[in-house]
């Protein structure tokens, strides 16, 4: 099946109610032969409108972290655990809402298809939602980060979500989390052998 057919199929998904309030489903993007896959939570406001993953503020922070880690964005495959933007109205704004377990489970089929197609060596879970989707249970980032967790076909590395880094109010703590994200990405790249 080619990329357009896959996207058409994804955009017809009605496995959970999130499709109804989103602009469109956002599929993964990047190197179809990538050894390194990065999985986020769900598209945000900008991704929902653009139809592409990680193009908003979290994406810009991720780009910065990838570049610090010596990884070219076009050599990895980027996707999300949940493919529709979940939000609630706050005045005129659409505020991000964390997906529920049943929504993560409903979307699992799409992530599994991407994993089966790309066959990465290393999968980086950006944040707890992606960690949950990939490891199948509650995830505490600070306890699991920094090491590869072997699965049958690939290893999972859990790290901070770029939005979590952005949300930290204190500058020095934000720098610590950013440094940890870069360190984890560097480790993932080493394990997947995708350094520039
Ligand atoms: N946050 C995510 O988890 N994924 C995106 O694509 C954008 C923001």
pLDDT in tens, 36-62: 999 999 999 999 999 999 999 999 999
Q: What's the confidence (pLDDT) of residue 1?
A: 80
Q: What's the confidence (pLDDT) of residue 21?
A: 96
Q: What's the confidence (pLDDT) of residue 194?
A: 75
Q: CATH assignment of 3-192, given 3.90.1300.10, 3.30.70.20, 1.10.10.10, 3.40.470.10?
A: 3.40.470.10
In the reported structure, the alpha carbon of residue 48 is separated from the centroid of ligand 1 by a whole-number distance in angstroms of: 9
SS (H, E, C) the chain: CCHHHHHHHHHCCCCCHHHHCCCCCCCCEECCCCCEEEEECCCCHHHHHHCCCCCCHHHHHHHHHHHHCCCCHHHCEEEECCCCCCEEEECCEEEECCCCHHHHHHHHHHHHHHHHHHCCCEEEEECHHHHHHHHCCCCCHHHHCCCEEECCCCEEEEECCHHHHHHCCCHHHHHHHHHHHHHHHHHHHHHHCCCC
Our mutation pick for probing the ligand 1 site, out of 163, 167, 181, counting the most ligand atoms within 8 A of Cβ, is 163
Q: Which atom of ligand 1 is nearest to the CA of 162?
A: 1
Q: What's the confidence (pLDDT) of residue 6?
A: 96
Confirm or reject: Cβ of 129 under 6 Å from ligand 1. no
pLDDT over threshold 60, residue 65: yes
Domain ranges of the chain: 3-192
Tens digit of each residue's pLDDT (9 = 90 or more) over 143-166: 999 999 999 999 999 999 999 999
């Amino acid at each position: 099946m080619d990329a357009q057919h896959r996207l058409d199929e994804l955009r017809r998904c009605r496995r959970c109610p999130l499709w109804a309030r989103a602009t469109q489903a956002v599929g993964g993007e990047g190197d179809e032969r990538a050894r390194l896959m990065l999985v986020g939570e769900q598209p945000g406001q900008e991704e929902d409108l653009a139809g592409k993953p990680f193009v908003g503020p979290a994406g810009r922070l991720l780009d910065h972290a990838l570049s610090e880690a010596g990884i070219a964005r076009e050599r990895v495959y980027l996707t999300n655990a949940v493919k529709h933007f979940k939000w609630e109205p706050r005045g005129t704004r659409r505020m991000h809402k964390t997906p529920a377990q049943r929504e993560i489970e409903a979307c699992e089929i799409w992530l599994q298809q991407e994993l089966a197609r790309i066959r990465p060596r290393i999968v980086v879970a950006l944040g707890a939602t992606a960690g949950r989707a990939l490891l199948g249970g509650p995830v505490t980032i600070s306890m699991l980060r920094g090491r590869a967790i072997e699965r049958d076909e690939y290893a999972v590395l859990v790290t901070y979500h770029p939005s979590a880094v952005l949300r930290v109010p204190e500058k020095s703590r934000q720098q610590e989390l950013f440094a940890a994200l870069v360190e984890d990405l560097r480790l993932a790249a080493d394990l997947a052998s995708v350094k520039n």
